[in-house]
Amino acid sequence: AQSVTQLDSHVSVSEGTPVLLRCNYSSSYSPSLFWYVQHPNKGLQLLLKYTSAATLVKGINGFEAEFKKSETSFHLTKPSAHMSDAAEYFCVVSYGGATNKLIFGTGTLLAVQP
């Protein structure tokens, strides 16, 4: 069975400092992994995805994530936080197949302090 664990429910950083949002997955086969971001009262926006190509994935807005099979991790990072990065972040694994059902982590709320 596939599952996703986001290790921190809340992360607070200062503007200009690095961001690290942690995610571990469990999958019986090679997964597709995603990070989505959700700003208040908005839908989910895809930040980046891993689909068995390069292990270091670059996304939008300066975010990137590294797929580490040995650690079953897919942590999201950004070198320098911006105020506009404050949002909820979801790590997601896909079943794949015809219907692409998603398994969501519980989310990490990122706060950025001025």
Partner 1 sequence: DAMVIQNPRYQVTQFGKPVTLSCSQTLNHNVMYWYQQKSSQAPKLLFHYYDKDFNNEADTPDNFQSRRPNTSFCFLDIRSPGLGDAAMYLCATSRKSMNEQFFGPGTRLTVL
Residues that bind partner 1 (CB under 8 A): 32, 34, 36, 41-46, 49, 51, 90, 94, 96, 98-102, 104-107, 109
- For the record, the structure tokens of 76 come out as 């999201």
Q: How far is the CB of 34 from partner 1 (least distance, A)?
A: 6
Nearer CB in complex with partner 1: 56/98: 98
* Region of residue 63 (phi > 0: left; psi between -120 and 50: alpha; otherwise: beta): beta
End-to-end CA distance of the chain: 41
Nearer CB in complex with partner 1: 53/114: 53
